[in-house]
Chains A and B, each alone.
Chain A
């Protein structure tokens, strides 16, 4: 089932949570809403689920306007950030809940419910814990029970609010891999909310990046990483170095280096900033041209990539990521002079 969101708006008092947001999730897609906390992504997810009502705009599920449907009628499976499991019920009863509460004529038989619950618990690899209570489970296990519970009602759409937010790093990585495989197997249209860009890019077919209630950029993960549409996205998806300067007559000048900027052909100077990722800067012991001199301030030798912290002569910090072998070839120590030349920059007018 597809999801379409059209011109959605939502305010809480004077706070604008969602502002004129539109996007489409294709059937079977795994879609991420990514953004810093407070950007409106959870509110957006709750509006799609019917747990919150929009001030204006429409939500279409399978092309049908769902505005007048409440959360019970929408057929969405919602997984809460803190799982919201029923503490007084066993794992089995939690998963069976959605089937148990159906009106008699649509309720499967006891045997059928039991079979389906055990199937689902098998799917999330927790069948051996079916008679435990939620408080006896670990965070990752609870998350999987919450997922099985949401899947039990055979939802047309799965909505997950920060599905890995409350878990520690190792469990998070495992669960992420597991969820990707699960989605591959059942092909259920899924939307998840996250503030972790790595998580979004790792899992999602497409992402929407939100900031202050608005969409900054929408696209495939690779496209978003390679071609950030706005300075916000540039900053949000990974580390970045920012250089301020001006553009005029098709060229940008940023202190000691200059780049082409064909979009601005006017002769008068316009304030702009150039952004370069740490691995897009080349460092050398000799002047490579179109760059600037720095002093090596600090080295973080973390695994295959070595992070260098460089200080320009006017005291600004520049971060550079270097392959381990390149770092070894360079053979530098803190205090040494290094020349930095940007290989790839993106310029945004300010």
Chain B
């Protein structure tokens, strides 16, 4: 806050800062604050019992684990997709490009039903996978798959402008100095992309943690095995047990927040190396 005292050429620091804080409080913080307040009604021991219930703990593991796995998968393949879409001219480029956004636009329940139809043991793909001994629907694998589906646009869309911005001369310079293609990618290209890449990863992860619609159908919702946290919350809500629902949510929120903080820290570390 030393900054406010310093005179800068650009005016409006106090105004914009004030506005930003006000807006964040109104839109983000205020609704979120009601969560701990609501769950406070339970009292500490009930709260503790609720969130350490084995069924709830299993759902945290599943929700966070599947979200992390899906975000990681998207980080790898989303990078490839973004790279190809930016660097190469393909036939039907615009159509392919528009396809990327479909998971954004599709009602998630529709996505869930579609995926379940495909991967259910008797479905188009599930049938053939079953022959290989792989079951997708009603397993954590299926949940991860649904989360990969909805998370892809986040990675692709955050990376595209950065790849577009990447100067071809940088890569040429690296190869003229004797670097192999892999060295060019690993030592030059990826370090450039890493801040945006982490952002994409964080967005995909954050979206996946809270995802409900596309997952519930393919998850099968077996307690302890394929029950995601958002489902547990909804279940509590349907029993009008708002306090318990918010208690479960508060912990999930805290865990996600910690993970996002970690990713942000990594990102600013990567970004600092580029921007200094």
Contacts and interface: CB of A to CB of B under 8 A. Distances in A.
Interface in A57-103: 70-72, 76-78, 80, 82, 84-88, 97-98, 101-102
Contact of A51 (B167, B176, B191): B176
B172 A101 contact: no
Most chain B Cβ neighbours within 10 Å, of A78, A101, A150: A101
Contacts of A84: 167, 169-170, 172-173
A101 B177 contact: yes
A97 B275 CA distance: 19
Contacts of B191: 88
A109 interface: no
A142 B192 CA distance: 19
Contacts of B176: 49-51, 71-72, 76-78, 150
B274 A102 contact: no
Contact of B192 (A70, A87, A153): A87
Interface size class of B (residues with CB under 8 A): 20 to 34
A49 B175 CA distance: 11
A133 interface: yes
Contacts of B173: 78, 80, 84-86, 149
B129 interface: no
| Contact residues on A (Cβ < 8 Å of other chain), bracket | 20 to 34
Residue with the highest number of chain A CB atoms closer than 10 Å, among B173, B174, B187, B276: B173
A136 interface: yes
Interface stretch (B146-154, B178-186, B256-264): B178-186
Main secondary structure of the interface of B (DSSP, over half): helix
Contacts of A76: 176
A185 B204 CA distance: 56
A235 interface: no
A26 B188 CA distance: 35
A135 interface: yes
Nearest to B273: A88
Given A80-B169, A84-B169, A84-B172, A153 B178 contact: yes
Contact of B172 (A51, A87, A102): A51
Contacts of B174: 86, 97, 101
Nearest to B182: A101
A150 B173 CA distance: 9
Contacts of B170: 84, 86
A71 B171 CA distance: 11
Contacts of B274: 87-88
Contact of B188 (A70, A82, A86): A86
B276 A97 contact: no
Nearest to B179: A101
A25 to B, nearest CB: 18
Contacts of B175: 70-72
B192 to A, nearest CB: 7
B174 to A, nearest CB: 7
Contacts of A136: 276
A121 to B, nearest CB: 16
Given A78-B172, A84-B169, A84-B172, A98 B192 contact: no
A101 B169 contact: no
Contacts of A51: 172, 176
A97 B177 contact: yes
A71 B172 contact: yes
B244 to A, nearest CB: 48
Interface string B153-172: 00000000000000101101
A26 to B, nearest CB: 23
B177 to A, nearest CB: 4
Interface of B: 167, 169-170, 172-180, 183, 187-188, 191-192, 273-276
Given A84-B169, A84-B170, 19 more contacts: A50-B176, A51-B176, A70-B175, A72-B175, A72-B179, A77-B176, A78-B172, A84-B172, A84-B173, A86-B173, A86-B174, A87-B274, A88-B273, A101-B183, A102-B178, A136-B276, A149-B177, A150-B176, A150-B177
Q: Can you list the 9 inter-chain pairs with the closest CB atoms, starting with the nearest?
A: A98-B177, A84-B169, A84-B173, A101-B179, A78-B176, A88-B191, A101-B183, A80-B169, A88-B274
9 contacts: A51-B172, A80-B172, A84-B169, A86-B173, A97-B174, A98-B179, A135-B276, A150-B176, A150-B177
